[in-house]
Amino acid sequence: MAGRPSVRNARSRGSIDELPSGALRVRVYAGVDPVTKKRHDLVEVIPSGPRAWAEAEAVRGRLLQQVADRRSPRTSATVDELLTRYLDQFPGSPNTLDLYRTHVRNHISPCLGHVRVGKLDAETLDSFYAELRRCRARCTGRASVEHRVSGPHECTEKCRRHVCRPLAATTIRHIHFILSGAYKRAVRWGWVSESPTVKAEPPPAPKPNPQPPTAAEAARIVTESWRDPDWGALVWTAMTTGMRRGELCAIRRSLVDLTAGRETVWLRKAIRRDPDAGWVEGDLKTHQQRRIALDAETVVVLREHIDRCDERAAALGIELPADAFLFSGSLDGSTFPTPDSVTQRYDRMATRLRIETTLHKLRHYSATELITAGVDPRTVAGRLGHGGGGTTTLKTYTAWVSEADQRAARGLGAGMPQRPAELDPVRRVRQEPRHPYERVAAAVAQRVDDGELALGELAPATADLATDHGVSLATAGRAVALLKEWGVLTAVGRGRARIAGRAVPVAVETAEPVGATALVEPSVPAELPDVASPAGEAGRSVSFCSITLRGPDGQRYPARMVPGSLADPGAFRAHLLGVARIEVPERTDEGEAWIGDFELEVAEIGTDRPPVTLRW
């Protein structure tokens, strides 16, 4: 291939030149650069090899076809040159233009500014976005120092070690929008055939998460702001109207109509920052004027504010003009408050109150309150000055609270049947045992209720329960412990237990239409008669009662076997007080009145009578 001469065709056919390294350079004329006014060629280099000339011919044909179809870049301009021309023709607001120029200066130009417009592809953009998500300074990853100023200087505490901070997803999306808008113009101008931003993927948009102050926080903010009535009037107006801070600062007295039936504020201008002139009056953000209706309380607040301003001016012999700024800091109303000053004062107030909020979140507060009150999103969007017929409002604020969703929840709740009464733990286990030990305990309690196990006799041994129910000894032991907790069994020593009483009666269905359950309560006798029981060991007659104490929280204390006659009400009350004091010693210092919080369940041993519940 070294002896093969280079091929140079006419301008319309391009050329193939052999380089000293053996590689081949394909050059195709693509016209005059519209930016630099110089000759513009499409150039590709083919590495040396046995098929280099065949590949060069194929590349030349492809480039010629691109030029014929006008699909080739018509300029060798760089991304910086494209962005400069695009921003010079940018139709947006000056504030947005200033923000875009800052992003270009800080992020795009240092990394992509030198790249030719036709060379930038989607892969490069994705790598660029990934680098910004890692570190906004696009550092190398090595330890370094961030100096407070550039050039030679003496380092202070402001010169600190570099810590990688990712660029916010919203800012990266702004950068993508800048490049996308610029490349749309480049395609229309014929500089490139297609935009690489179409295939690039910026970070997803953050989910809207408005965090307005709560009603309690709003009340504290209003109270604190009213230490200065003029400042309080401004905060109140921002909270009820949802104006932007620039719109709030630009209100003139002539634009406020407090006539009965026509209470409105006409928003025509907004205070914005001009890169050259500083703070100036300009158009609204959406370039559309709007009127906001005022509620009765806001009308009173603004009327009192205007009267205060008039009184101060009259004291100095000044008459305020009709076009004076409503919230001016000067006595003659000739100057407007700057938005930054209003924001800083509000931030200081929120810091004093220890509330994490900002002035802009008063717009969130106004929007969420309106939506919650049932106002349709289109009307809310009109008050806030959102474009798109309410699209922004729906995306941002209804993600946090939806009035329609609240109505749906209320309607669903109204149509639901009444919930059944919640069962206490004993009744729940008796009706729906979930575990093996609960099933064993429920079966033993049922045998007591059915009379198979008489009160006062020894309960089945733990080993017998394990065998009868096919469970382990540990499970049977848990069942015995549960029965003691219910008051069905009471320990008598040597690991044995005695039947001491019945468990809580099982709930039965009633004829009430509410679908709940009712308990069958035994009647309460005036006095408890003697209970005759089988003869004791000495052949004498002994009376027994089983006592179970239940507290107001549903706690059941261990049952007791009580001998002797308890027919005397006075002796019976004294005995029960004694039992309660033993079981609940922490209440003994409260006299006898506290016993009214408890009830006792008394079972007659040796009979089939149901247990009696006694209350004071």
Q: Are 454 and 545 within one domain? A: no
Q: Are 104 and 135 within one domain? A: yes
Q: Which of 135-144, 218-227, 257-266 is the least confident region?
A: 135-144
> What is the pLDDT averaged over residues 393-398?
66
CB 383 within 8 A of CB 294: no
Residue 332 belongs to a domain with what CATH number?
Answer: 1.10.443.10
Q: Which residues pair with 560 in a beta bridge?
A: 547
Q: Residue 419 gets which letter from DSSP?
A: P
Reply yes or no on whether the pLDDT at 98 is more than 80. Answer: yes
Q: Tokens for 23?
A: 């590689």
Give domain status of residue 50, yes or no: yes
Q: Which of 27-31, 58-62, 236-240, 466-470 is the least confident region?
A: 27-31
Give domain status of residue 414, yes or no: no
Give domain status of residue 390, yes or no: yes
Reply yes or no on whether the pLDDT at 494 is more than 80. Answer: no
Q: Are 192 and 125 within one domain? A: yes
Helices and strands per DSSP (H, E), number in the chain: 20, 19
Q: Are 97 and 235 within one domain? A: no
Give domain status of residue 155, yes or no: no
Query: How many structural domains are present in the chain?
Result: 5
Q: How many alpha carbons lie under 13 Å from residue 245 in its C-beta half-sphere?
A: 18
| Helix (H/G/I), strand (E/B), else coil: 427 | helix
Q: Tokens for 232?
A: 């309080």
Q: Are 61 and 86 within one domain? A: no
Q: What is the pLDDT of residue 562?
A: 47
Distance CA 575, CA 401 (A): 61
> What is the pLDDT averaged over residues 556-565?
48
Q: Is residue 144 very low, low, confident or very high in pLDDT (cuts 50, 70, 90)? A: confident
Q: Tokens for 246?
A: 């620039």
Q: Are 237 and 385 within one domain? A: yes
Distance CA 444, CA 479 (A): 9
Reply yes or no on whether the pLDDT at 420 is more than 70. Answer: no
Give domain status of residue 504, yes or no: yes
State percent of the chain over pLDDT 90. 21
Reply yes or no on whether the pLDDT at 566 is more than 60. Answer: no
Q: Are 439 and 467 within one domain? A: yes
Distance CA 490, CA 546 (A): 10
CB 264 within 8 A of CB 293: yes
According to the per-residue pLDDT averaged within each range, which of 241-250, 284-293, 365-374, 456-465 is highest? 241-250
Task: Say which residue, 298 or 526, is predicted with more confidence.
Answer: 298
Q: Are 283 and 354 within one domain? A: yes
> What is the pLDDT averaged over residues 40-69?
83
pLDDT digits (tens, 9 = 90+) for 319-346: 899 899 999 988 888 999 999 999 999 9
Q: Are 383 and 235 within one domain? A: yes
Reply yes or no on whether the pLDDT at 571 is more than 80. Answer: no
Q: Are 267 and 394 within one domain? A: yes
Sheet bearing 24-32, strands edge to edge: 7-8, 15-18, 24-32, 39-46
Reply yes or no on whether the pLDDT at 561 is more than 50. Answer: no
Q: In residues, how long is the chain?
A: 616
> Of 448, 476, 508, which residue is a domain's last?
508
> What is the pLDDT averaged over residues 346-367?
91
Q: Residue 293 gets which letter from DSSP?
A: E
Q: Which of 51-60, 151-160, 524-533 is the least confident region?
A: 524-533
Q: What is the pLDDT of residue 518?
A: 29
Distance CA 556, CA 549 (A): 6
Distance CA 503, CA 611 (A): 9
CB 530 within 8 A of CB 607: no
How many other C-beta atoms can be found within 10 angstroms of the C-beta atom of residue 365? 23
Q: How far is CA 460 from CA 26, 114, 444, 455, 488, in A?
A: 102, 93, 9, 13, 12
> Of 376, 408, 440, which residue is a domain's last?
408
Distance CA 11, CA 20 (A): 23
pLDDT digits (tens, 9 = 90+) for 255-290: 999 988 888 999 888 888 877 778 888 888 777 788
Distance CA 429, CA 221 (A): 53
Give domain status of residue 288, yes or no: yes
According to the per-residue pLDDT averaged within each range, which of 22-36, 120-134, 157-171, 520-534 is highest? 120-134
Q: Are 392 and 466 within one domain? A: no
Task: Say which residue, 456 or 610, is predicted with more confidence.
Answer: 456
Residue whose entry in the numeric block shows the structure tokens 């113009």: 185
Q: Is residue 174 very low, low, confident or very high in pLDDT (cuts 50, 70, 90)? A: very high
pLDDT digits (tens, 9 = 90+) for 432-480: 888 899 999 999 988 888 888 887 788 888 888 888 898 888 898 899 8
Question: pTM for the whole thing?
Answer: 0.53
Q: Is residue 191 very low, low, confident or very high in pLDDT (cuts 50, 70, 90)? A: confident
Distance CA 568, CA 580 (A): 18
Q: Is residue 220 very low, low, confident or very high in pLDDT (cuts 50, 70, 90)? A: very high
Q: Is residue 405 very low, low, confident or very high in pLDDT (cuts 50, 70, 90)? A: low
Q: Tokens for 430?
A: 């008796």
Reply yes or no on whether the pLDDT at 563 is more than 50. Answer: no
Q: Tokens for 296?
A: 């009765």
pLDDT digits (tens, 9 = 90+) for 502-542: 765 443 333 333 332 222 333 333 333 333 333 333 333 33
Reply yes or no on whether the pLDDT at 234 is more than 70. Answer: yes
Q: Are 359 and 378 within one domain? A: yes
Give domain status of residue 111, yes or no: yes
Give domain status of residue 446, yes or no: yes
> What is the pLDDT averaged over residues 221-237?
92
Reply yes or no on whether the pLDDT at 605 is more than 60. Answer: no
Q: What is the pLDDT of residue 532?
A: 34
Taking the chain, what is the end-to-end CA distance rounded to the nearest angstrom?
117
Dihedral pair phi/psi, residue 593, rounded to 5°: -65, -30
Residue range of the domain that includes 129:
79-140+162-198
Q: What is the pLDDT of residue 406?
A: 58
